[in-house]
Amino acid sequence: METRKIGSLDVSLAGLGCNNFGWRIDAQATATVVDAAIEAGINFFDTADIYGKGQSEEYLGKALGTRRKDVLVATKFGMKMDEENFGAKPAYIHRAAEASLRRLGTDRIDLYQIHQPDPSVPIEDTLGALEDLKKAGKVREIGCSNFSAEQLRAGRFASLQNQYSLIHREPEKDVLPECERLGVAFLPYFPLGNGLLTGKYRKGQPLPEGSRAQAGFGPKVFTEENLDKVEAWTKLAESQGHTLLELAISWLASRPIVASVIAGAKSPEQVKQNAQAVHWKLTESSQLSVGN
């Protein structure tokens, strides 16, 4: 599989988002998903301390086992774990990193990301603590998530992870141009638009049982306007022998600034579909058809 750069890291163009681990799937199901990802050529696993209240990191670490040396693990800190553990103060960053290392069962974090800005802490203090972790060999590269273009300019990051998909195009205004200017790799989360771009949702049809939409997630996404777009994109993909999901992922992969498309998965089948999608190289006309 094609790889791209996040600082010194060579990450697979298809990555695995691990937000389902410990929340929507258990340890055994996590292991089957991780096995399928590695078999499909994925070497980049993105998690966070808050996912599954720490269980995502635990399950991922156990599933990788001795294969840890062959893959790249990204995790995040900063969102509220409990009343005492959150934010970006230097002392907490060191505690959070040690806790993540312990849960992951590893001696290093390949990409350590601040999960959201902390306006109560000067960014230089946060960066100082992260640089200390790099010097100690506990972190290889430093990233951020949910940062604006202005906030990105204030830091020294190898990557930025924000929401981006065919449906959510907000980063194109200023965040993506700033990433290109600074040489910061971009990681899109929710690449399938909260499930809207999986192909499960069609206009005029009932919501699938057990789906995120039926559970009340993403009310701003599942609109008539967006369902009209889904119909058009589905027809475009099918006209070329592909699915809507493949179009959504390959469209992101067609952007050079995108280092890895980190779609989540609950089953080996979903992993395989996501990994296969990045191999479809969109033509320029196809990119224009979906809104380049």
Return the active site residues. 51
3-class DSSP assignment, residue 285: helix
- Contact predicate 233/249, CB 8 Å: no
Angle at 13 between CA 151 and CA 187, to 5 degrees: 15
Question: Measured between alpha carbons, how far is 271 from 33 in angstroms, rounded to an integer?
Answer: 7
CA gap 98, 51 in Å, rounded: 16
CA neighbor of 77 nearest in space, from 23, 121, 117, 21: 117
Helix (H) or strand (E) holding 206: none
Neighbour count for residue 81 (Cβ, 10 Å): 16
Distance CA 42, CA 206 (A): 34
Which SS3 state, helix, strand or coil, does residue 215 take?
A: coil
Is residue 122 within 8 A of residue 21, CB to CB? The reply is no
The separation between CA 273 and the C-alpha centre of its own chain, rounded to angstroms, equals 16
What is the C-alpha to C-alpha distance for residues 121 and 78, in angstroms, rounded to an integer? 12
Residue 3 CA, chain-centre distance (Å), reads 15
